[in-house]
Amino acid sequence: PQSFRRLEYRPPNFTFGKVALDIALDPARTIVKSSLEVLPGPEFKPGEPLVLQGQELEFVSLRINGAAHRHFELNPESITIHSLPNEGREAFMVEIISICVPEKNTSLMGLYVSNGNFFTQCEAEGFRKITYFLDRPDVMARYTVTLRARETECPVLLSNGNLIHKEKLPNGWHSAVWEDPFPKPSYLFALVAGKLECIEETITTGSGAKKLLQIWVEPHDLNKTRHAMDSLIASIHWDEKRYGLELDLERFMIVAVGDFNMGAMENKGLNIFNTKYVLAQPETATDADFANIESVVGHEYFHNWTGNRVTCQDWFQLSLKEGLTVFRDQEFSADQMGSESGRAVKRIEDVRTLRQLQFPEDAGPMAHPIRPDEYQEINNFYTVTVYEKGAEVVRMYQTLLGVDGFRKGMDLYFKRHDGQAVTCEDFLAAMADANGRDLTQFKNWYSQAGTPRVKVEEHYNEASKQYVLTLTQSSAKVNQQPFHIPLKMRLLTSGDDQKEQLLELTQEKQSWTFENISEKPVLSINRGFSAPIILDFVQDEADLLTLFSSDDDAFNRWEAGQKLAMQFILDNRLPGAQLIAAYRTLLLDPDLDPAFKELAMTLPAEAYLYEQCASVDPQNIYSARRAFRHAIATELRMEWAALYQQMQTPGDFSPDGVSAGKRSLKNLALSMLLDADVAIWSAMAVNQYQNANNMTDRYAALSGLVVNGSKQAGICLRDFYSRFTDDALVIDKWFALQASRPPIAGVEPTLVDVMRLREHEAFKLNNPNRVRSVIHAFCMGNPASFHQADGSGYAFWADAVLTLDPINPQVAARLARGLDRWRLFAEPYQSKMHAALEKVAASKTLSADVREVISKALA
């Protein structure tokens, strides 16, 4: 298989000035006429041919400067054009006509049909499935796009930029011309056509300009667009206020589509979204859905500057735009929480995601630096490392330089690079230069994979009142250079006189001495998770209990609780009286944010616990975790029952952080009560299920009944299906809930349910959301049911990967990642996972996507 290497980057030999596309849309035969103004590029050499990428295209004709041109070769993935006018020295026009077949396109890359409407997805390399092109991000061109279609089938025709012309054509066709004033790489191209309707709003931005905002959906979904519109308006204001960045187009559109490979796409002025991240109303969307919509709408909008105005030189630089934009959306969501404790809740959630998903990736066969050096298929590198660890790296600049210093760096970055395709080094240089700081060592975060470990040793001298802190960093891989690690810390003493400090660990081993420390302090380190590292720090239970009850850093307070629970679970111990008392105090504290309480009482996920083991027995971990949870449920049942009453949110539903936090604690209480005694509490859960005025409460009640094996679960599941039969996103939840059910004694294995769900009339193999709600939910979100000693889960996985791959390689490759950590497991799991991987590897027709994932897992 072919590998692409970062160091083999060469600038293009040709580039484009103006690009005119004329697209006649037909599901079975879309004709694309592309007129390219070709110019010599930075690496131009006279006489070299022009090589354009193209995939799955039917070639029709080629003209150069208006005349038919015969000197070309067609290859399966490109066209090579020879004998260019004047050997290519000055601008010339290339006109190519080709045909593609949107209705046959199940990969959802390029131009495809979803529910009768046309959509595109071009990032990273989908544009070449629409027309022959220099399909690379460092070729930025000005696009004019003419769309033609039958008016009855496609009344709406959208593309990037501004609408400059509309026209009726003969035979019931019509056309629209869109012009994008900003040069852009091909991956930001988009078109949408079909029977869609929009809500719209006009706003005035900082400069006094009026902007038209639209959210386009299928007509029956119009009543679910308000929250997305509010999120968009909030994002626009936030980017102006926090970064001085204004919307640069007269019009900004979001379109929702039910068939989509990922969350959403930041096409210039025409963002295309998975319906899951647009549609919401209280009856059908949970608090998590509302929050996700806000964050994804923000994320795509923020890309307009970080990604679109300044883009990536090549795909190895992906984290330049993704890490930065995730950081921006995290900060946006945190600010929207409206309080310090709300910000902390958001931070805890983000770190939890990082540690549950990214840490395993960084320890597994697909580990890569946030700026990878090599890939076979770029689609496999839209990873939690590039995104979430990338965001942590950006956050560390802000920690090191301060919020104002970071802003200065951002300002300089735009001043230098607006309109350019640049690299991660350019971003680092802007941060360094704007602040007069040498950040050379910081570059190691871009080039070295793996999660660094930092060992903590403390020494307190009673006589001299000195406290010495020694930190030693060690990297996950051999031959790595030390990282520049910012660690926020504070010594907690009864005197309360020590301030928070920022330590910069740059050497392998460093010590700090603190004077006049009146008593042995309790160390609170890596506060706010200031660096994405693993702390090797054996802190005794008493200190952890102190931190859990009183650390003024909310993140570390939560973290102490997680560490305590983790130690108990891994030692297979039940919580003792002291820990139960600490939990009780926390739950009864009237000043603590309910959302924080819910996070503090939620145990570390199984996936995170696995990473703490040298050899994982998934069933042991599951039962130890369950037993621990059952003890908390039982011993605190009076508190849970009281909280269930106190956390009710009467009146109209509002998705704001405070109300959502109350609901989350109430629903945790409900699930604890069901865990303590399902027979007693089922009636209350059924009552909540039936009378809820919002999906958060209805779904939580249903989930509690299903997960705890209540006798009422079946009837409520049937009721849920018939209530929401016509709402695809809610039916996804119905599938996902059943596929995520953990094993229950006396109930048939979840896999039996999953097999049945796969045969269900509403199951669709070519709809990614539906596939993820059953197959990915079971294989990647339900460890205790998936990891069975008989290997049945793994056999199911192998079959699903092989079935999905020819339909949609990206969806299949994501699932293929499900056995990444197979070497970490004990027998018999490990051998059975290995066999399943070998079974997939034996296929001769694997896509490049799945091939790369499986071969790296087996390597």
Q: Is 377 in the site for ligand B3K (CB under 6 A)?
A: no
If one asks whether residue 271 binds ligand B3K (CB under 6 A), the answer comes out as no
Q: Which of 119, 252, 316, 382 binds ligand B3K (CB under 6 A)?
A: 382
DSSP state of 208: S
Q: Which is nearer to ligand B3K, 388 or 543 (CB)?
A: 388
322 is a contact residue toward ligand B3K (CB under 6 A): yes
Q: Least separation, in Å, of the C-beta of 311 and Zn ion?
A: 12
For residue 103, the Cα-to-chain-centroid distance in whole angstroms is 28
Quick one: 326 or 739, whose CB is closer to Zn ion?
326
Q: How far is the CB of 386 from ligand B3K (least distance, A)?
A: 9
Binding of residue 266 to ligand B3K (CB under 6 A):
yes
The least CB distance from residue 262 to Zn ion, in Å, is 9
Least Å distance, CB 504 to ligand B3K, is 31
Single out the residue of 294, 300, 593, 805 in contact with ligand B3K (rule: CB under 6 A): 300
Q: Provide φ and ψ at 462, rounded to 5°.
A: -55, -45
Is 175 or 274 the residue whose CB approaches ligand B3K more closely?
Answer: 274
Q: List the structure tokens of 558.
A: 């939560």
Nearer to ligand B3K, 300 or 697 (CB): 300
Report the alpha-carbon distance of residue 831 to residue 245 in Å, rounded.
54
Of 375, 388, 480, 475, nearest to 856 (Cα)? Answer: 375
Check residue 258 and report its DSSP letter: S
Rg for the chain, CA atoms, rounded: 28
When asked if residue 315 is in the footprint of ligand B3K (CB under 6 A), the reply is no
CA–CA separation, 426 vs 716, rounded Å?
A: 56
User: Which residue's CB is nearer to Zn ion, number 318 or number 367?
Assistant: 318
Helix orientation angle between 541-550 and 554-570, rounded to the nearest 10 degrees: 140
Cβ-based nearer residue to ligand B3K, 301 or 406? 301
Q: Which residue is nearest to ligand B3K (CB)?
A: 123
Question: CB of 307: closest distance to ligand B3K in angstroms?
Answer: 7
**Amino acid (1-letter code) at residue 720:** F
User: Hey, how many other C-beta atoms are within 10 angstroms of the C-beta on 8?
Assistant: 10
Q: From the DSSP assignment, how many helices (H) and strands (E) are in the chain?
A: 29, 31
Q: Which is nearer to ligand B3K, 672 or 815 (CB)?
A: 815
Q: Is 310 in the site for ligand B3K (CB under 6 A)?
A: no
**Least distance (Å) from ligand B3K to the CB of residue 401?**
25
Q: Residue 321 or residue 557: which is nearer to ligand B3K going by CB?
A: 321
In whole angstroms, how close is the CB of 306 to Zn ion at the nearest point?
9
Which one of the spans 185-193, 215-223, 314-322, 614-622 is the region binding Zn ion (CB under 5 A)? 314-322
Q: Specify the residue, 387 or 583, whose C-beta has the smaller distance to ligand B3K.
A: 387
Per-residue interface string for the shown chain with Zn ion, residues 322-351, x marking contact by CB under 5 A: x--x--------------------------
Helices marked H in 156-225 — which ranges? Answer: none
Q: Which does 741 bind (CB under 5 to 8 A by kind): Zn ion, ligand B3K, none?
A: none
CB atoms within 10 A of CB 677: 13
- Tell me: does residue 299 bind ligand B3K (CB under 6 A): yes
DSSP tag of 221: G
User: Which does residue 221 touch among Zn ion, ligand B3K, none (CB within 5 to 8 A, set by kind)?
Assistant: none
CA distance 523 to 543: 8
Q: CB under 5 to 8 A by kind: which of Zn ion, ligand B3K, none does 123 bind? A: ligand B3K
Give how many residues touch ligand B3K by CB under 6 A.
12
For residue 67, is it left (φ>0), alpha (ψ between -120 and 50) or beta? beta
Which span (156-164, 295-303, 592-600, 696-704) binds ligand B3K, by CB under 6 A?
295-303
Site for ligand B3K in 124-143 (CB under 6 A): 124
Report d(CA 353, CA 358) in Å as an integer: 7
Q: How far apart are CA 701 and CA 691, in angstroms?
A: 10
Is the CB of 98 or the CB of 325 nearer to Zn ion?
325
Residue 262 contact partner, candidates ligand B3K, Zn ion, none, CB within 5 to 8 A by sort of partner: ligand B3K
Retrieve residue 742's tokens.
Answer: 């953990």
- Piece in contact with Zn ion (CB under 5 A), picked from 156-164, 318-326, 659-667, 734-742: 318-326
Q: How, if at all, do strands 210-217 and 251-257 pair?
A: parallel
CB of 303 to Zn ion, least distance (A): 6
Site stretch for ligand B3K (CB under 6 A), options 83-91, 299-307, 497-505, 647-655: 299-307
CA-to-CA separations, 489 to 196, 539, 590, in angstroms, rounded:
53, 15, 27
Task: Please choose which of Zn ion, ligand B3K, none residue 820 contacts, taking the beta carbon within 5 to 8 angstroms, the exact cut-off set by kind.
Answer: none
Nearer to ligand B3K, 124 or 236 (CB): 124
Residue 379 touches which member of ligand B3K, Zn ion, none, C-beta under 5-8 Å by kind: ligand B3K
**Contact predicate 732/274, CB 8 Å:** no
Phi, then psi, of 40 in degrees rounded to 5: -60, 135
The tokens 């959502």 sit on which residue?
660
Angstrom distance (rounded) from CA 423 to CA 65? 35
Residue 616 in 3-state DSSP?
Answer: strand
Burial status of residue 642 (CB atoms within 10 A of its CB: 0-12, 13-18, 19 or more): middle
Nearer to ligand B3K, 55 or 284 (CB): 55
- The residue among 271 and 740 lying less far from ligand B3K, judged by its C-beta, is 271
Per CB under 6 A, the list member of 191, 247, 262, 730 interacting with ligand B3K is 262
> How many residues of this chain bind Zn ion (CB under 5 A)?
2
Binding-site string for ligand B3K from residue 221 to residue 260, where x marks contact by CB under 6 A and - marks none: ----------------------------------------
d(C-alpha 855, C-alpha 859), whole Å: 6
> Contact, 604 vs 571, CB < 8 A?
no
Instruction: Kindly state the smallest distance separating residue 249's Cβ from ligand B3K, in Å.
Output: 18
DSSP 229: H
Taking the C-alpha atoms of residue 93 and residue 65, their distance in angstroms, rounded to an integer, is 5
Interatomic CA distance for residues 427 and 144, integer angstroms: 31
Q: Does 379 bind ligand B3K (CB under 6 A)?
A: yes
How far is 567 from 539, CA to CA, in rounded Å?
A: 11
d(CA 347, CA 344): 5
Question: Should residue 324 be labelled a site residue for ligand B3K when binding is judged by CB under 6 A?
Answer: no
CA 492, 496, 502, 505 dihedral sign is: negative
Residue 811 is a binding residue for ligand B3K (CB under 6 A): no
* Least Å from the CB of residue 686 to ligand B3K: 40
Per-residue CA distances from 267 to 163, 189, 237, 517 (Å): 16, 6, 20, 56
In the complex, least distance from residue 178 CB atom to Zn ion, rounded to whole angstroms:
23
Stretch that binds ligand B3K, among 296-304, 597-605, 729-737, 798-806 (CB under 6 A): 296-304
For residue 291, the minimal CB distance to ligand B3K (Å) is 17
Q: What is the DSSP string of 430-443?
A: HHHHHHT---GGGG
123 binds ligand B3K (CB under 6 A): yes
Peptide bond into 102 cis (omega under 30): no
Residue 374 among the catalytic residues:
no
User: Which residues inside 14-53 make contact with ligand B3K, applying CB under 6 A?
Assistant: none
> Exactly one of 95, 123, 125, 300 is catalytic; which is it?
300
How far apart are alpha carbons 56 and 101 in whole angstroms?
Answer: 9
Q: Write out the H or E segment, with its range, that includes residue 678.
A: helix 678-691
- Tokens standing for residue 109: 């890359």
Catalytic residues: 300
Residues of this chain that interact with Zn ion (CB under 5 A) are 322, 325
Residues of this chain that interact with ligand B3K (CB under 6 A) are 123-124, 262, 264-266, 299-300, 303, 322, 379, 382
